[in-house]
């Protein structure tokens, strides 16, 4: 049986908060975490949570005791698009034109507008999801013409382990694309969120312009089996 050390979670969150600029928001990544851990993070001041899976997130999102903003941060299959639209407050992992079309259709069916981030595969890695940099503009233009999808920024994944400096080129490229789109001043696009950096790389990400960091291990400790 896993017990939740609420004091430890609170202390970790407060320590991270003290180390980062005020304009940077912390999103707690809660894949494999218990509802009790999520509750402890919420009580410690976290107001943004992210999950990788639609079904597993539903119980947490519907918990009466956690009035937070929920982001889809994992790869979203198109057959889960309707459920994701109904559950989440933001989709951070919009990674293809096909998914954008499906999300717009599902949003129209339920009558809900939803903010999205384009997930950029800034390293052009074939084993990762995300839009290659040269394809970003195509998706930007599509979303800008949508009625229900609202483009709010970009997200990227750097290397999951190892030297945090290995992530810097990924973050630089994503920020360049983010600023390029922001400078276009498109009518239906409001670039606000640059989601970059995880527990091993968030400090480098902040240096490169991130204003939303996705933290799991540094808040909760190692993932449960």
The CATH number given to whatever domain includes residue 19 is 3.20.20.10
Nearest C-alpha neighbor of 114 from the set 127, 129, 104 = 104
CA angle 188, 76, 93 (to 5 degrees): 45
Q: Is 73 part of any domain?
A: yes
Name the DSSP letter for residue 164.
Answer: G
Tell me the C-alpha distance between 133 and 179, whole Å.
13
Distances (CA, A) of 218 to 5, 16, 116, 150: 14, 9, 25, 31
Residue 225 lies in a domain: no
Evaluate whether residue 34 is within a structural domain: yes
Torsion of CA 158, 164, 165, 166, to 10 degrees: -40
Provide the domain limits for residue 23: 6-220
What kind and span of H or E run contains 213? strand 212-215
DSSP code for 210: -
- Tokens 């799991």 sit at which residue? 216
Give residue 224's pLDDT.
Answer: 62
- The answer to whether 120 and 138 are in contact (CB under 8 A) is no
Q: Do 66 and 60 touch, CB atoms closer than 8 A?
A: yes
Task: Count other C-beta atoms under 10 Å from residue 3's C-beta.
Answer: 7
Mean pLDDT of 82-95: 97
Give per-residue pLDDT as tens, 32-82. Answer: 999 999 999 999 999 999 999 999 999 999 988 889 999 999 999 999 999
Query: Which of 18-27, 67-76, 78-87, 150-159 is predicted with the least confidence, judged by mean pLDDT?
Result: 150-159
- Of residues 222 and 150, the one with the higher pLDDT is 150
Task: Please report which confidence band the pLDDT of residue 197 belongs to, taking 50, 70 and 90 as the band edges.
Answer: very high
User: Is the confidence at residue 116, as pLDDT, over 50?
Assistant: yes
Q: How many domains does one find in the chain?
A: 1
Q: Is the pLDDT of residue 12 over 80?
A: yes
> If pLDDT is split at 50, 70 and 90, which confidence band does 3 have?
low
Residues pairing with 70 in the sheet: 49
The rounded mean pLDDT for the chain is 94
Whether 1 shows a pLDDT value over 90: the answer reads no
Residue 222: CB atoms within 10 A of its CB come to 8
The angle, 0 to 180 degrees and rounded to 10, between the axes of the packed helices 136-144 and 97-110 is 20
- For residue 1, tell me if it sits in a domain: no
pLDDT at 198 over 50: yes
Is the residue at 202 inside a domain? yes
Give the pLDDT mean for 207-218: 97
The C-alpha torsion from 118 through 219 and 53 to 151, rounded to 10°, is: -20
């Amino acid at each position: 049986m896993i017990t939740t050390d609420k004091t430890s979670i609170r202390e970790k969150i407060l320590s991270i908060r003290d180390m980062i600029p005020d304009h940077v928001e912390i999103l707690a990544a809660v894949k494999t975490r218990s509802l009790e851990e999520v509750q402890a993070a919420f009580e410690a001041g976290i107001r943004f949570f992210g999950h990788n899976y639609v079904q597993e997130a539903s119980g947490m999102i519907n918990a009466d005791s956690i009035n937070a903003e929920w982001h889809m941060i994992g790869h979203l299959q198109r057959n889960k698009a309707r459920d994701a639209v109904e559950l989440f407050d933001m989709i951070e992992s919009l990674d293809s034109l096909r998914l954008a079309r499906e999300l717009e259709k599902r949003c129209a069916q339920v009558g809900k507008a939803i903010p999205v981030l384009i997930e950029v595969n800034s390293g052009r890695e074939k084993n990762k999801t995300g839009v290659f940099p040269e394809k970003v503009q195509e998706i930007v233009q599509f979303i800008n013409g949508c009625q229900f999808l609202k483009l709010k920024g970009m997200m990227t994944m750097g290397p999951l382990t190892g030297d945090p400096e290995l992530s810097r080129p990924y973050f630089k490229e994503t920020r360049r694309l983010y600023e390029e789109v922001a400078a276009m001043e498109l009518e239906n696009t409001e670039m606000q969120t640059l989601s970059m950096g995880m527990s091993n790389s968030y400090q480098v990400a902040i240096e490169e312009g991130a204003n939303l960091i996705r933290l799991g291990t540094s808040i909760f400790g190692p993932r449960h089996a």
